[in-house]
Chain A
Amino acid sequence: MLKSCLAALAAVVFMALPAPALAEGYPERPVQMIVPFAPGGGSDLVIRVIEKDFQKEFGQPLSFVYKPGASGAVGVSELKNLPADGYTLCSQSYPHIIIQELSKSGNFSVDDFDYVGMIAVDDIFFAVRNKSKFKSVQEFIAEAKANPDTLSVATTDTLGCSHMAALKLRMLGVPVNIVTYTGGSKAVAGLLGGQVDALMVVKGAAAAAMSRMRMLAICNTQRDAELKDVPTFPELGYDIVQFNGRLIIAPKGLPEAVKERLVTGLKNIYADPAVIERNKKAGFEYRFADGDTVYKMFQDLRPEATQLLELAADLK
């Protein structure tokens, strides 16, 4: 009895030992952050705003490598083959990874990565321009149902979170015509120029032109802290919950202790109100979720994403 207890204890100690040893000095050299988008975009900025705090917290700087292409699929696919030692991280978003897995535009799956956590959320708003005759979502939906396929809803991406939100609207029985733009600025210009009737847009991309738009609804379960008057889609009876979650991911097999060190470090960084304020100014809403939650979010989205992708293919 005692013997087996000791053996078990030894096994536990033996298994637990290497991990802390690894995390002991982590990080001992600069940590590489792969940004799978062009410099200056959201994926870059969300890390850049905490760049100095990272160095203060971890004692090592971040070095940025930009690998843009195919909505982040190129950089993420490269990440898959890099060592999982905590010295290579990547800033990619929820839900991109699962959509790229399902649509086969990435040669990876959600299971190829370890998720350090989600550090910020960009909420998606359903917006019309302020000259528009639609004052509420109900009005818009009533018109769309009365004249199917005449109202156009623009998205800022193809097979990204904004597109998913628009597809979900259609799947819920609102026959709108979806127009996929390639980038927030072009889509916002299209909306303000009256080329489309409405737009699904993340807050960050809309922030600057907010005074020319009317936000009719938010695609989340809770209202935005700043735009309290804007109702949520679920409140209105439409179960559209889509957002852009800013993740920090690593190749599969990240040592547990390294992951813990990163998570505690990140939480310390975001405990500073000044950091939160800076985030807000740059357009990011701090909302932390740990790696397991993120992984569950992906798995929960899987069936719905599959349906939405089928719908997208049908619409082409």
Chain B
Amino acid sequence: MELISIFHHVLAGALQALMPANLCIMFLGLVVGIVGGMLPGISTITAVALFVPFTFAMPTDMAFVGLGAVFCGAMYGGANAAILINTPGTAASIATSFDGYPMNRKGRAEEALYLSLLASAFGGLFGAIMLLFFFEPLSALALEFGSEAFFWMGIFGLTTLASMFPRQIAKGLLGGAIGLALSTIGLDPSSAMPRFTFGSFDLIQGLDMVAVVIGLFSISQMLIMLESKEEFISSFEKKTGVFRVAFGHLIHNVKKLLVASGIGTFIGALPGAGGSVAAIVAYNEMKRWDKNPERYGTGVPEGVLVPESANNASVGGALVPLLSLGIPGSATAAVLAGGLMAQGITPGPQLMEMAPEMAYVFIASLIMANFGMVLVGFVTIKICTRVLTVPKLYIIPAVVAISLIGSYSLRSSMFDVLVMILAGGISYLMLKSKIMPAAIALGLVLGSIIEESLVITMMRAKGKTSLADLLLFSPMSMAFIAAIILAIFIPVYVNRKKQKPVTLTWSPSLNCLRRYDFWVTALITCVGAFFVKESMLLEGVSRIFPLAVYSAITVLGVFICARMFFERVSGPVFAMPRRDRINVALYTLIILAIYPFLSILGFYTACFFGLIAMAAFGIFHVGGKPVTARACCNIVVYAVCIVVVQYVGFHMLLNVQTPKGLFI
């Protein structure tokens, strides 16, 4: 189509999006998206899915505006929680927490929040503009991306592990392998038969990625917070001109943002990979090519700008194959497509040929939504920073309560709640031995992509082309393999130039037996070995991936243990005061104890008592405040408030049906 007519359509679309009624829906959509994205448990896909039914009653252009706004808002909203409480609200903002939270700890929370907002809007606009002008060539490129390229992209994503924790490469890899291992539970992708379910029907559905991610980050982070002596999460003071500072960073890093948004748009356009993969890959690339990669992870503005622009750019990207081919670029885009279909609009080439103005209205409203997002985001940031003025002992129970209902709302499954709690507790224990939740989450996000595409490639290889030709010698594969080799050797090379060679004193000693991380690693190794044995029992294609992953866990575990045995370093023997250890253990027990009552008493009632128990234990025991009538009163009022928020948000607005026990 000619440029002029594109502009004409877009202008018309933009004007339509600015009609008062549409504008209202846009702001409503943005609020729903941002708040949903912010809450752990409401992922981008859930936020869009929950909004879809409301659009059934709307005229088409209004539905377009609303759906686009929710999608953008949710993709951005996750960053708020990632920065403020180190708990990514959606999987897409995992990478944002790497630098966002350190910025917060340094007292630069507001700046980080503005950075994420501006970067999101930048990335969102970039993606939408790419969608507008280049969707034909982009979709052609996305189609060339066969299963073998997906496989290598997954492996390429895993190389992040090597540079994520420079001093703990082996443990980073071990964490990643654990994440991959978690993705093997459930129906296996090649035969759709139960795998590693040990006869439990609950496990057939597999571990929900989002439920595990909530546990990994929110529960374990809350336990970490419990240990620290400070009363607040970070020191927060009102400063002026922060927005201008953030804007300055944006201008200064515009080249990086363009690259990150480009990566985000392209990854978004691939069917099956969405914002989370886009953000991780973009973050990793920026870090890899930085002159001084070590500064990433310590709280640098680029570390927030890059992943946030990439994940929002993926929104436009995800719509590329949807509008050009009718193929949704991500699970969220698929839900969005469902909403459009219910409007009687089938997104795809027919739409572009028969009624292009429809498509352009949609793209225009997406562009407008990104501008609107800056306004709405500005207000939410003002409100959100208040979190930092609330004592952390009040924040922890609230986050736990939201995580409980959030993980339930994913699939209306109590099992997911249990998985979330256990994932939280276990990842806390691993974190204490330097196996980071981020590494596990990375493995989990990439695991199913890698196995699925490997299996599909192997099936394809039974036909004309041989496996080696597909997996090793196709142009896409060779390009990726080259990139992977570079990715592995560049950090090693850079490190060698900079660091003095560490002189290890090879003197075996049994001192390692007194190290906490030795025992954790040893236990993981044993579990890995057990599953290697289990994997041998599987047949055909379905055994390959688990066998590789569990063998990797075993080998890495043995390696790490052996190194501890030979190193002289006596190391930390779980350097944590006894009192703190007991506090954390008791707190975890309280969370675990809430679980059975959720279905006995009813979800909200159990949450109410759970909140009181957690808050009282935290404030009176951990915080050491005197037990007064006034304090008790405060706690009850607090618990009522949180439960009301839960009830209004999840039951009334989102219509989540929670289990009813004796009460509600």
Contact surface of A with B, Cβ cutoff 8 Å:
32, 38-41, 44-45, 48-49, 51-52, 63-71, 73-74, 77, 103-105, 107, 149-152, 158-159, 177-183, 185-186, 188-190, 192-197, 207-212, 278, 281-283, 312-313, 316
**Which of B191, B337, B460, B655 has a CB less than 8 Å from the CB of A40?**
B337
Which residues of B lie under 8 Å from residue A278 when comparing CB positions?
344
Given A40-B339, A282-B344, 15 additional A-B pairs, CB 8 A: A40-B52, A48-B53, A64-B655, A66-B411, A66-B412, A105-B194, A105-B204, A179-B456, A185-B327, A185-B328, A190-B456, A192-B327, A208-B351, A312-B191, A313-B191
Chain B nearest Cβ from A314, distance in angstroms: 10
Which of these binds chain A: B30-38, B144-152, B494-502, B624-632?
Answer: B144-152
Interface residues in B183-217 (C-beta closer than 8 Å to A): 186-187, 189-194, 201, 204-206
B residues less than 8 Å from A149 (CB atoms): 462-463
Which of B191, B194, B206, B353 has the most CB atoms of chain A within a 10 A radius of its CB? B191
Q: Mark B319-336, 1 if CB is under 8 A from A, else 0.
A: 001100111100100111
Contact of B325 among A49, A181, A188 (CB under 8 A): A188
Give the Cβ gap from A133 to chain B, nearest Cβ, in Å.
Answer: 14
A40 to B338, Cβ gap below 8 A?
yes
Q: How many residue-residue contacts, CB under 8 A, span A and B?
A: 187
* Cβ B327 vs Cβ A209 within 8 A: yes
Total interface residues in chain B, CB < 8 Å: 67
Question: Is there an interface contact between B452 and A69, defined as CB atoms closer than 8 Å?
Answer: no
User: CA A208 – CA B333 in complex, angstroms?
Assistant: 14
**With A and B bound together, what is the CA distance between A151 and B539 in angstroms?**
25
Separation in Å of the B442 CB from the closest CB of chain A?
A: 21
Across the interface, do B147 and A281 meet the contact criterion of CB distance under 8 Å? no
Taking CB atoms, residues of chain A closer than 8 Å to B186 are 70
Q: Are A283's CB and B539's CB within 8 A?
A: no
- Find chain A residues with CB under 8 A from B206 CB: 69-70
Residues on the A chain within 8 Å of B350, using CB: 208, 210-211
A52 to B192, CA, bound (A): 36
- Separation of A69 and B45 alpha carbons in the complex (Å): 15
Is A212 in contact with B349, judged by CB distance below 8 angstroms?
A: yes
A195 to B151, CA, bound (A): 14
Q: Given A38-B49, A38-B331, A209-B348, do A178 and B459 touch, yes or no (CB 8 Å)?
A: yes
Q: Is B390 an interface residue (CB 8 A)?
A: no
- Contact between chains at B462 and A195 (CB < 8 Å): no
Q: How far is the CA of A136 from the CA of B133 in the complex (A)?
A: 36
Residues in B with CB closer than 8 Å to A209 are 325-327, 348-349
Q: Is B142 an interface residue (CB 8 A)?
A: yes
Q: Are B147 and A158 in contact (CB under 8 A)?
A: no
Sorted from nearest, which 4 A-B pairs have the closest CB atoms? A208-B326, A208-B348, A69-B205, A40-B338
Q: How far is the CA of A107 from the CA of B203 in the complex (A)?
A: 12
8 contacting pairs across A/B (C-beta < 8 A): A39-B49, A158-B190, A178-B459, A179-B463, A182-B189, A208-B325, A210-B350, A282-B344
- A residues less than 8 Å from B194 (CB atoms): 104-105
Partner of A182, one of B335, B349, B452: B452
> Which one, A65, A69, A207, contacts B204 given CB within 8 A?
A69
Taking a contact as CB atoms under 8 Å apart, the answer to whether A189 and B327 are in contact is yes
CA distance A173 to B330 in the complex (A): 37
The smallest beta-carbon distance between B326 and chain A, in angstroms, is 2
Instruction: Report the separation of the CA atoms of residues A212 and B325 in the bound assembly, to the nearest whole angstrom.
Output: 8
Neighbouring B residues of A70 by C-beta, 8 Å: 186-187, 204-206
- Across the interface, do B189 and A211 meet the contact criterion of CB distance under 8 Å? no
Q: Is the CB of A208 within 8 A of B192?
A: no
Complex contacts, B541 vs chain A, CB 8 Å = 316
Instruction: Chain B residues near A107: list those with CB within 8 A.
Output: 201
- CB-CB nearest in chain A for B143: A193
List of B residues within 8 angstroms of A179 by Cβ: 456, 459-460, 463
Of A103, A105, A150, A185, which contacts B334 at CB under 8 A? A185
Distance of B208 from chain A, by nearest CB (Å) = 8
Evaluate contact between B56 and A152: CB separation under 8 angstroms.
no
- Check A39–B463 contact: CB distance below 8 A: no
The reply on B413 being an interface residue by CB < 8 A is yes
Distance from A208 Cβ to chain B, minimum over Cβ atoms (Å): 2
Contact A195 to B147, CB < 8 A, known contacts A51-B56, A209-B326, A212-B349: yes
What's the least CB distance linking A141 to chain B, in Å?
16
Q: A107-B201, A193-B144 are in contact. Are A68 and B341 (CB under 8 A)?
A: no
Does B475 belong to the interface (CB within 8 Å)?
no
Contact indicator B348/A180 (Cβ below 8 Å)? no
Complex CA distance for A38 and B45, rounded to whole angstroms: 9
Query: Which B326-372 residues have C-beta < 8 A from chain A?
Result: 326-328, 331, 334-339, 341-342, 344, 346-351, 353
Residue ID in chain A nearest B353 by CB atoms: A211
User: Is residue B241 contacting chain A, with contact meaning CB distance below 8 A?
Assistant: no
Contact across chains for B411 and A67 when beta carbons are under 8 A apart: yes
**With A69-B206, A316-B541: A45-B50 Cβ-Cβ less than 8 Å:** no
Other-chain residue from B201, B346, B655 in contact with A77 (beta carbon distance below 8 A): B201
Cβ of B271 within 8 Å of any chain A Cβ, yes or no, is: yes
Within 8 Å of chain A (Cβ to Cβ): is B508? no
Chain A's nearest CB lies how many Å from the CB of B269? Answer: 10
Residues of A contacting B328 in the complex (Cβ-Cβ under 8 angstroms): 185
Of all chain A residues, which has the CB nearest B343? Answer: A281
A68 vs B145: C-alpha distance when bound (angstroms)? 28
A149 and B461 alpha carbons, distance in the complex (Å) = 10
Contact present for B325 and A67 (CB under 8 Å): no
Query: In the complex, which residue of chain A has the Cβ closest to the Cβ of B147?
Result: A195
* A316 x B342 contact (CB < 8 A): no
Q: A67 contacts which of B145, B331, B413 (Cβ < 8 Å)?
A: B413
Contacts of B634 in A (CB 8 A): none
Contacts of B348 in A (CB 8 A): 207-211
CB-contact partner of A32 in B48, B456, B464, B657, under 8 A: B657
Q: Which chain B residue lies CB-closest to A108?
A: B201
In this complex, the member of B194, B335, B338 whose beta carbon has the largest number of chain A beta carbons within 10 angstroms is B338
**A45–B191 contact, CB under 8 A?**
no
B272 at interface by CB-CB < 8 Å: yes
B20 within 8 A of A: no
Given known pairs A150-B464, A189-B143, A208-B326, the reply for A180 and B339 (CB within 8 Å) is no
For the complex, give the distance between the alpha carbons of A21 and B344 in Å. Answer: 41
Contact A185 B271 (CB under 8 A): yes
Task: Give the residues in chain B near A188, CB-CB below 8 Å.
Answer: 325-327
In the complex the two chains form, is A316's CB within 8 Å of B205's CB?
no
CA separation between A283 and B347, bound complex, in Å?
A: 12
Q: How far is the CA of A86 from the CA of B29 in the complex (A)?
A: 35
Shortest Cβ distance from residue A74 to the other chain B in the assembled complex, whole angstroms:
5
Contact digits for B228-252, partner A, Cβ 8 Å, 1 yes 0 no = 0000000000000000000000000
Instruction: Give, as a whole number of angstroms, the nearest-CB distance from A310 to chain B.
Output: 13
Q: Give A200 to B257 CA distance when docked, in angstroms.
A: 41
**Centre residue among B335, B341, B464 by max chain A CB count within 10 A:** B341
Which residues on B sit within 8 Å (CB–CB) of A207?
A: 326, 346, 348
Structural contact, B56 and A39, CB atoms closer than 8 A: no
CA separation between A156 and B15, bound complex, in Å? 40
Q: Is B59 an interface residue (CB 8 A)?
A: no
Give Cα A52–Cα B341 distance, bound, in whole angstroms.
17
B577 at the A/B interface (Cβ < 8 Å)? no
Interface set, chain B 36-56, CB cutoff 8 A to A: 45-46, 48-50, 52-53, 56
* A65–B412 CA distance with the chains assembled, in angstroms: 7
Q: B204: which A residues are within 8 A, CB to CB?
A: 69-70, 73-74, 105
Given known contacts A70-B204, A77-B201, A158-B189, A177 and B45 CB-to-CB distance under 8 angstroms? no
Chain B min CB distance to A54 (Å) = 13
> Which residue of the partner chain, among B45, B321, B413, contacts A189 with CB atoms under 8 Å?
B321
A64 and B411 CA atoms in complex are apart in Å by: 12
